[in-house]
Amino acid sequence: MEKLCSGCLTNKCFINKENNISNKKQCLKKLNVVDWLSNIKPPFGDEYDIVEVQFKNDRKEFFHNQNKIALFKGDFVTVESKSIGYDIGIVTLTGELVKLQIRNKNIYFSSLKIKKIYRKSTNIEINIWKSLKKKESIYLSKSKKIAKNLNLSMKICDVEYQGDGEKAIVYYTSENRIDFRKLIKRLALSFRISIEMKQIGYRQESAKIGGIGTCGRELCCSTWLKNFKSVTTNSARYQQLSINIEKLTGQCSKLKCCLNYELDAYLSAIKDFPDINSKIYTEKGIAQCMKIDVFKKKMWFSYIKNPNTWFIIEIKKIKEILEKNRKNQKVAPLEELSIINVIQKTELTFKD
Structure confidence by residue, pLDDT tens digits, 285-294: 899 988 888 8
Q: Residues 87-104: what's their mean pLDDT?
A: 86
Sequence-separated (6 or more) residues with CB below 8 Å from residue 215: 258
Residue 170 binned pLDDT confidence (cut-offs 50, 70, 90): very high
**What is the pLDDT of the chain when averaged over all its residues?**
81
> In this structure, is the dihedral angle defined by the CA atoms of residues 61, 62, 66 and 70, taken in order, positive or negative?
positive
Q: Domains of the chain: which residue ranges?
A: 6-121, 128-203, 279-344
Q: Residues 249-274: what's their mean pLDDT?
A: 89
Amino acid at 66: Q
**Selected residue with higher pLDDT from 206 and 352:** 206
Residue 225 binned pLDDT confidence (cut-offs 50, 70, 90): confident
Q: Please count the other Cβ atoms lying within 10 Å of the Cβ belonging to residue 50.
A: 20
pLDDT at 206: 87
pLDDT at 230: 85
User: pTM of this prediction?
Assistant: 0.71
Helix axis angle, 181-191 relative to 123-149, nearest 10°? 130
Q: What's the fold here for domain 128-203? A: GMP Synthetase; Chain A, domain 3 (3.30.300)
pLDDT at 24: 38
Alpha-carbon Rg of the chain, whole angstroms? 29
In the predicted structure, residue 352 carries a pLDDT above the cut 60: no
Of the candidate ranges 45-49, 75-79, 116-120, 153-157, the one whose mean pLDDT is the lowest:
45-49
pLDDT at 26: 42
CB-side neighbour CA atoms (13 Å) of 146 = 20
Residue 120 binned pLDDT confidence (cut-offs 50, 70, 90): very high
Coarse DSSP helix, strand, coil percentages of the chain, rounded to the nearest 5 percent: 30, 25, 50
3-state secondary structure of 102: helix
Amino acid at 172: Y
In the predicted structure, residue 2 carries a pLDDT above the cut 50: no
The pLDDT tens digits for 8-57 are 434 444 444 434 443 334 444 577 777 777 677 766 666 778 899 999 88
Q: Cα 106 from chain centroid?
A: 16
